[in-house]
Amino acid sequence: MYDKSISLFQRAQQSIPGGVNSPVRAFKSVGGTPIFIEKAKGAYLYDADGNRFIDYIASWGPMILGHAYEPVVKAIQEKAVLSTSYGAPTQLEIEMAELIKSMAPNVDLIRMVSSGTEACMSALRLARGYTGRNKFIKFEGCYHGHADAFLVKAGSGLATFDIQTVPGITGGVSNDTLTCAYNDLEAVRSLVSTHKNEIAAIIIEPVAGNMGCILPQPGFLEGLRQICNEEGIVFIFDEVMTGFRLAAGGAQEVLKIDADLITYGKVIGAGMPVGAFGGKRAIMEKIAPLGNVYQAGTLSGNPIAMIAGYTLLHELKNNPSIYQELNDKTAYLHDGLNKVLAASGTAFVINRQGSMISIHFSEQPVTDFASAAAANNSLFNKYFHAMLKRGIYLPPSAYESWFLNNALSYADLDATIQATAESLAEIL
């Protein structure tokens, strides 16, 4: 069934560390051989062996309207004949920035970069430059890319490989990274008190997606906002996953919380390698060439990524019903999964926010990394393979949120629910 994927994986390991270019793709958490994808269209992935899968990864979030969305493909084709990179300013960059500003709250100025990792790294540097402080607070299980400062108690990939400390991260970097459990406001207050006038930023996934989908408890984000106001701390929302997915204005709009800086990733390139960070004018004006906090990149504002992202975001802005359709589909899936899981007799928790959802085989609520890690994740691994066998492609880790795309039909959702019922009957 996966003969070509097996062969390709064996070949890849001769040239690529572990045979993959991003660790979670290796299937080490769930076991087995990774599936090598040949193409995708709409809600479906097609592997090298010709198997079709209903996709719940959506390239880790950005394919909100499905794969190979025709207006995006056409826009890329038209722009590519004009060259793929200039290393110089373009009018399109201005139009992209204006479009993002028109959709996202609290974005007065925005700088394009080449990835979500780079966006978060640059936002943290900016917060440090703006405040003159070095330390920052992040939350256990939240993943903000692989920059050194963020790999202290990070989520998803590190959790998948059970990596608690990362060689190559210096003690000085680790000492400046303060961590708290997600949803633990009192722990944040304690850290801020202990490190008075030393903390530059608090960075958070407003809805976490790197320990499964984890929702902020009522009052948590509001409390963080108040602390930042009182202590002169820059509040950074990592919206690489939630930006333009939960709503046109992202998590800020849905949760009604104002951030000082916001980071975005591949969604603003419709899946192309791109990112951005933006926020309040007084802070963003510290970035070079206006200020002395340096950040640069030859591919920042790349024209192919910009036209792809502009086309997607323009569609989302002008058709707000897309978000209701996505939310309705996710709620329908949630209800169906809830019924079949309840009927199976196994302990489970389903977390959902908008079009992000995850299943945890747990007897307790899953509200942070510790409770996500305490779930029966070996059962999830069996569930993953049982679903894959039935043509459903889930994230290959219990520590990842699922992402729905609007190309999914209700028939696809019914097939997913039915596959879950069959899978549970097989593995329990």
Per-residue pLDDT tens digits for 212-258: 999 999 999 999 999 999 999 999 999 999 999 999 999 999 999 99
In the predicted model, is pLDDT for residue 92 greater than 50?
Answer: yes
Q: Contact, 276 vs 112, CB < 8 A?
A: yes
**Active-site hit among 79, 153, 266, 280:** 266
pLDDT band at 330 (very low <50, low <70, confident <90, very high): very high
- Would you give the distance in Å from CA 383 to the centre of its chain? 22
Residue written as tokens 């992000």?
356
Residue 307 one-letter amino acid: I
Least confident of 11-25, 149-163, 296-310, 317-331: 149-163
**Per the structure block, which two tokens stand in for 422?**
């069959």
In the predicted model, is pLDDT for residue 75 greater than 80?
Answer: yes
**Per the structure block, which two tokens stand in for 52?**
């079709």
Q: Please classify residue 21 by burial: count the beta carbons closer than 10 Å to its beta carbon, then call 0-12 exposed, 13-18 middle and 19+ buried.
A: exposed
Q: Give the mean pLDDT of 290-300.
A: 93
> By C-alpha distance, which of 355, 376, 378, 382 is closest to 364?
376
Q: Give DSSP secondary structure letters for 99-126.
A: HHHHHSTT-SEEEEES-HHHHHHHHHHH
Q: Give the mean pLDDT of 53-58.
A: 98
Q: Give the mean pLDDT of 118-140.
A: 96
Thinking of the domain 70-318, which architecture would CATH place it in?
Answer: 3-Layer(aba) Sandwich (3.40)
Residue partners of 261: CB distance under 8 A and separation at least 6? 123, 126, 127, 201, 234, 235, 236, 237, 277, 278, 279, 280, 283, 284
**Active-site hit among 69, 143, 310, 383:** 143
Q: Give the mean pLDDT of 75-97.
A: 97
Please tell me the predicted confidence (pLDDT) of residue 165.
Answer: 59
Q: Give the mean pLDDT of 292-298.
A: 93
Least confident of 134-143, 147-156, 351-360: 147-156
The three-point CA angle 169-173-175 to 5° equals 120
Q: Give the mean pLDDT of 287-306.
A: 94
C-alpha–C-alpha distance, residues 11 and 418, integer Å = 35
Active site residue 323: no
Instruction: DSSP letter for 397, please.
Output: S
pLDDT band at 163 (very low <50, low <70, confident <90, very high): very low
In the predicted model, is pLDDT for residue 159 greater than 70?
Answer: no
**Per the structure block, which two tokens stand in for 280?**
């309040």
Q: Give the mean pLDDT of 265-289.
A: 96
Q: Give DSSP secondary structure letters for 174-222.
A: HHHEEEEETT-HHHHHHHHHHTTTTEEEEEE-SSB-SSS-BPPPTTHHH
Q: Please classify residue 410 by burial: count the beta carbons closer than 10 Å to its beta carbon, then call 0-12 exposed, 13-18 middle and 19+ buried.
A: exposed
**Per the structure block, which two tokens stand in for 131?**
């405040």
Task: Please provide the average confidence, as pLDDT, over all residues in the chain.
Answer: 94
Please tell me the predicted confidence (pLDDT) of residue 274.
Answer: 96
> By C-alpha distance, which of 239, 246, 308, 302 is closest to 271?
308
C-alpha–C-alpha distance, residues 361 and 127, integer Å = 38
Please tell me the predicted confidence (pLDDT) of residue 27.
Answer: 87
Q: Give the mean pLDDT of 366-384.
A: 96
Active site residue 266: yes
The CATH code of domain 3-68+320-427 reads 3.90.1150.10
- Give, in order, the Cα–Cα distances in Å from 135 to each of 176, 195, 208, 424: 4, 8, 22, 46
**What is the share, in percent, of the chain residues with pLDDT greater than 90?**
90
**Active-site hit among 238, 260, 368, 412:** 238
Please tell me the predicted confidence (pLDDT) of residue 161.
Answer: 46
Check for a shared fold between 3-68+320-427 and 70-318: no
Please tell me the predicted confidence (pLDDT) of residue 18.
Answer: 92
SS3 292: coil
Residue 72 one-letter amino acid: V
pLDDT tens-place string over residues 191-211: 999 999 999 999 999 999 999
Q: Please classify residue 365 by burial: count the beta carbons closer than 10 Å to its beta carbon, then call 0-12 exposed, 13-18 middle and 19+ buried.
A: exposed
C-alpha–C-alpha distance, residues 90 and 72, integer Å = 19
SS3 46: strand
pLDDT band at 24 (very low <50, low <70, confident <90, very high): confident
In the predicted model, is pLDDT for residue 352 greater than 70?
Answer: yes
C-alpha–C-alpha distance, residues 260 and 109, integer Å = 11
- Going from N- to C-terminal start, the domains of the chain cover 3-68+320-427, 70-318
Least confident of 78-87, 139-148, 313-322, 332-341: 139-148
pLDDT band at 23 (very low <50, low <70, confident <90, very high): confident
